[in-house]
Amino acid sequence: MNDVLERPVFEARQLTKVFTKAGKTIEVLDGMELSMKSGEVVGILGASGAGKSTLLHIAGGLDWPSSGTVHYGEKDIFSLSEPELAAFRNKRIGFVFQMHYLLSEFTCLENVMMPGIIAGGEKDQVRERAEVLLKQVGLSQRGDHRPGELSGGEQQRAAVARALVNHPSMVLADEPTGNLDARTAASVQDLFLDLNETHGTTFLVVTHNREMASRFHRRFQLRDGVLHQER
Ligand SMILES: Nc1ncnc2c1ncn2[C@@H]1O[C@H](COP(=O)(O)OP(=O)(O)O)[C@@H](O)[C@H]1O
Ligand SMILES: [Mg+2]
């Protein structure tokens, strides 16, 4: 066995997260563990307030755990300095949220290019990559449009393309279809699975959509601060 291939692309160990609000403490994560291989699509289900967004924020280095570690390959992300972590996040992790967060004053193509430019990429190369991605997500005719001129599904597809521009190790998605009607949601689901099959993109997806999760390689319920695998 090739050791490098067997090493998890992502590993969360013994994560805890305690929030204190108005003198009351809430234990949101309580020794949560997750290990993912490259090319896996994993779903996280759970009740509202179970801590799914908290888990995703910590997995993506947007928030710190109270204790525990997150590794991407060999890299322990919470041992990095703030600027190192910000750079790692930008280059190695793709984010898709329920809201698309596209910048309204930029075109669709410019929005997709943005993380590549921020990462210091050469403009023509970043543009080329962004154009390839727009094609992959079915928006090659929409590059010049502003976000306001796109439908909800197209906006979310553009957000997916933007998440992929720097070839991230993993894409984290928090209820990516939560704002979409059933048919549009299904087309975004199909896009994730297509990207996974065609390019081996690794996804960790929080969703309320059981039908969507049933198509993933593995799915878990987040309950009482830990993950319970579903069959
Ligand atoms: N910054 C914060 N300060 C205090 N409590 C928080 C904070 N963020 C989340 N929480 C609490 O943690 C719990 C989990 O929230 P969240 O991760 O958003 O759940 P989910 O995404 O599963 O709905 C909730 O009880 C929420 O109120
Ligand atoms: Mg949430």
In a domain, 33, yes or no: no
Decide whether any atom of ligand 1 lies within 6 Å of the 127 Cβ.
no
Question: Running DSSP on this structure, what letter comes out for residue 51?
Answer: S
Question: Is 174 buried (19+), middle (13-18) or exposed (0-12) by CB count in 10 A?
Answer: buried
By CB atoms closer than 10 A (0-12, 13-18, 19+), residue 100 is buried
Question: Average pLDDT in the 203-213 region?
Answer: 93
Q: Which domain holds residue 109?
A: 38-64+77-230
The span from the CA of 136 to the CA of 159, in Å, is: 13
Q: Which of 20, 42, 37, 61 is nearest to 222 (CA)?
A: 42
- Number of structural domains, the chain? 1
Q: Does some domain include residue 11? A: no
Query: Is 157 contained in some domain?
Result: yes
Helices 108-118 and 123-136, interaxial angle, to 10°? 130
* pLDDT tens figures, 84-117: 999 999 999 999 999 999 999 999 999 999 999 9
Structural contact between residues 95 and 108, judged by C-beta atoms closer than 8 angstroms: no
Q: What is the mean pLDDT of the chain?
A: 94
Q: Is residue 150 part of a domain?
A: yes
- pTM for this structure? 0.94
Best mutation site among 17, 21, 25, 26 for ligand 1, i.e. most ligand atoms within 8 A of its Cβ?
Answer: 26
CATH code, 42? 3.40.50.300
6-10, 33-37, 196-200: least confidently modelled range = 6-10
- Residue 15's SS3 state is strand
Q: Is residue 71 part of a domain?
A: no
Residue 110 lies in a domain: yes
Above 60 in pLDDT, residue 2?
Answer: no
Ligand 1 pocket, 45 CB below 6 A? no
* Residue 223 Cβ contacting ligand 1 at under 6 Å: no
Is the pLDDT higher at 1 or at 223? Answer: 223
* Per-residue pLDDT tens over the stretch 170-184: 999 999 999 889 888
Confidence (pLDDT) at 26: 93
